[in-house]
Amino acid sequence: MNDILLQSPHRRWNPLKAEWVLVSPHRTQRPWQGQTEDIATASVPHYDPACYLCPGNPRAGGEQTPQYDGTFVFTNDYAALKPEAPQIDQDINGLLRAETERGICRVLCFSPRHDLTLATMEVPAIRRVVDVWAQQEVELAAHPEIRYVQVFENRGAMMGASNPHPHGQIWATEHVPNEPATETRAQMAHFTQHGEPLLMAYLRTELQQRERIVAENEAWVALVPFWAVWPFETLLLPREHVTSISALSTSQREGLAEMLKQVTAGYNRVFEAPFPYSMGFHGAPCDDEPHPEWQLHAHFYPPLLRSATVRKFMVGFELLGSPQRDITPESAAATLRSAIG
């Protein structure tokens, strides 16, 4: 890595979104006088009688959570999308546009244990979560109105998670959402020009340089992307070409479970546990079209800037200009790599 990139302002190209990211490494020397967060230190119980995701407890919508002993999936009691919706088709001068959006929102409880996280679950238990993600993707994609299945997890109150119980969400949408739609265009452009998936070529480059690799196993690689925006953002990539979670082989699913535990546990060691983040998988749209350009991947977007109490906000130039970061991807990768070992 050219030392000037580690010391001087510059911008980096994000080929996955076709946009620039401003990098200002010299700003890490400035003193912090902004907002800090209170860190909860209270222990989390094995079972919480007030938690609507714990086995046997009533949920807010009036349903009863069953006495499950592994994973548990249910339709979100307060879903953002519904399978049936009134027909909307408005277009006034091409400016005031609105249209119907149908969908299905489900919640996946990773474990009956209220006190666990991906970082503290056993790998076989995480593997069961991966299998359920795959099953749900197939089931939801079979609905004729569904074009995209988004698997994600918000961890921690800082990221808007309303319940600490280990769980994630699965939203199936009638249209491809903005982020994967942008990634589809960028990946297709690269595939058309070069004849191979963009992220396969990118991973090959990262494995050659080995500056931003955080962790790896036989099936997956975790790295801080060259164009990262969040201070300790990571990208999880399969070594082999695969377009969706449901298409993962047995060894790829096992490798993913191991990598999820490694990365989340590493975050906890760098900062105070439990570490907050938003994590989600991007795969090919389920639109009955071939997508050879697509490579499945997962994004981790953690909000902490330099300690467990200092949070990263998107403000000012980032809202009005373009994404910007102070901590270089190389520095973040070194910190995470040393924690994961």
Find the DSSP H helices in 151-303.
178-194, 198-209, 250-270
Cα→Cα distances 233→36, 74, 97, 270, Å: 20, 30, 34, 13
76 is in an annotated binding site: yes
Residues assigned a catalytic role: 167
Handedness of CA 268, 270, 272, 276 (dihedral sign): negative
284 is in an annotated binding site: no
Q: What is the DSSP string of 170-183?
A: EEEESS--HHHHHH
Q: How many residues are given for the chain?
A: 341
62 is in an annotated binding site: no
162 is in an annotated binding site: yes
Residues sharing a CB contact under 8 Å with residue 285, sequence separation 6 or more, in sequence order: 147, 148, 176, 180, 184, 291
Q: With contact defined as beta carbons under 8 Å apart, do 99 and 88 qualify?
A: yes
313 is in an annotated binding site: yes
165 is in an annotated binding site: yes
Q: With contact defined as beta carbons under 8 Å apart, do 312 and 304 qualify?
A: yes
Residue 118 CA to residue 111 CA, distance in Å, equals 10
2 is in an annotated binding site: no
Amino acid at 27: R
109 is in an annotated binding site: no
135 is in an annotated binding site: no
77 is in an annotated binding site: yes
30 is in an annotated binding site: yes
312 is in an annotated binding site: yes
161 is in an annotated binding site: yes
Q: What is the DSSP string of 98-166?
A: EE---EEEEEEES-S-TT--TTTS-HHHHHHHHHHHHHHHHHHHTSTT--EEEEEEEESGGGT-S--SS
| C-beta neighbour count of 192 within 10 angstroms | 9
169 is in an annotated binding site: yes
324 is in an annotated binding site: yes
318 is in an annotated binding site: yes
Backbone angles phi, psi at 66, to 5 degrees: -70, 170
Three-state DSSP at 167 gives strand
Determine the distance from the C-alpha atom of residue 40 to the mean position of all C-alpha atoms in its chain, rounded to a whole number. Answer: 23
183 is in an annotated binding site: yes
Backbone angles phi, psi at 68, to 5 degrees: -80, 155
Binding-site residues for Fe cation, in ranges, read 183, 282, 297, 299
Binding-site residues for Zn(2+), in ranges, read 51, 54, 114, 165
Binding-site residues for UDP-alpha-D-glucose, in ranges, read 27-30, 60, 76-77, 154, 160-162, 169, 312-313, 317-318, 324
